[in-house]
Structure 1
């Protein structure tokens, strides 16, 4: 009797939302996913986050990973501390995330070059030095100006500014008709707004030849489709060799898994599932594999993993002016292997009967460029899975 009442209540709530809103909520059907009164919005993790239940008790041992974006139903105070409420009864501490602010639509945006005329320190949005200094003569792409503590700065990247007095403004590079951050088109002639703080990369096709020349000349990320494939194939071989060095068979390929991951790109739902490493939720994307008994999955999903404008990723591994696909693949592999979390994932957590896949994708949104990386492996240990694995 209780089950029938719950189903009736859920159906009534769904009807109160309206057909037009179906599909805007998280894919998992839960009571909170049909609460029309609660406004949802996106948050992005600033650091790895533990998951808690509504009483503030730790929920499982897995961490939600830094850089991933989630839908939240708002904040809740638990034992005096602020938490974000996620789907499936999950809560994370608010200090671990920031709200994704949608950009207003713009009719035009000015992007211009600036030439450094004296060694220029790079500052953050609060005017604090980042420890980086640009050499005299360096040319940067500026996305407007900002006044910080009474001084004028040029914005030259995500959270990166130089004093306007240290550079000379040059020619306008692009004047674009913009859209909000979540809009997109694959038509290269239709550019999004020039805002490097967009949380979604905004995959908008191939840059123009003029933009390609600028990216290459100034050490930003640019690769042709052929180069991306070469990098991917080389990196995949290095991951396979690494797994073998740990005493396990290479990952087997699977067409269903390859297809899902190669087309994932900006899909928030898939990114969320990979970040949680939730093999049950992932099963809806790979129903044939799920039918044969997935018992674990591990993955990495980061659309700006190789990003010249990110101070976090500009590590000793990456030389963004080196465009040799083999060198880039080597630097990517070393950064994965030397990361304690990522190394265990590409190794496969000692999974013996694992299928694996890797996808790289070049992003360009008008002034921001990056190389995204998605890696996923799935495993099972039941007799049906082992039979399927051996047969494929």
Structure 2
């Protein structure tokens, strides 16, 4: 199987796996227990917390969660005041924001231009009317577009608005503006394990708990898994250590992919984007059939969270695509463990299957 679905999840780094094994097999104590074994587990958790924090702004604390969805829900539900977000945000933000709207909070959803980026002039006008929280994604999970977040954050701070950054796809790859107040991240998008994420909270920012109980994380209740924390920490450390090598490798893969798919149209900005995400379309293509014809290649027709829903991608609709064009789009994701040979072979299969399908149409 050729794996080209890095936005859905990334392969677990071997170093993270090896670091986790002892905490799954031998050191099984509860990290919140006062026993000697418990204290050792707690120490491992704290090392991991510091490793994760190294790729985040200074002046805040990392609170481990079950994943980014919990972190985003907590950040939005634990704050107050009106909400502003963007039409191309992840469902974990949009659905939570709409749930808060149903409870009485005011919600404004900013449109995006055909390139997938917001119009800063419109954003400035809306922020100037006052808001409690702005929720914005650093790198879009479906089309890879990078929002002008530094400018957006500065505008929000001028008006006293808290900023929540969904950095799931960008953490360790794209700089996170230091002025953010809340940042949500996920381990399995950076070659760490599934089932753990984190919410970074700036010092002085307080949010109401989402989960009540033992308050193990100081605002978040629930027993932590030392193994998952350790895996997350090692994955974060590797992202820092391999930053330049990973970025160079991804740029080479992007060049290879865009050359091979020269007859396809890129969805979203080709300039302002993370190059490990390539979302393209070819008019008249039946993507469901394409995926069936390319069973040995793992790629996506959109967000993994919405796969199987039958709905047209809200992100592709937000950039103005008609349903027919949105449904003829595929997302290819690649990164650290993708070889050029595997990418080339996968692209050849996809292109051959698409050509054959359209010739018969």
Q: TM-score range by the shorter chain?
A: under 0.3
Give the TM-score of the pair, scaled to structure 2: 0.23
Structure in which a larger fraction of residues adopt helix: 2
Does 1 or 2 have the higher relative contact order (CA < 8 Å, sep 6+)?
2
Give the TM-score of the pair, scaled to structure 1: 0.22
Q: Which has the larger radius of gyration?
A: 1
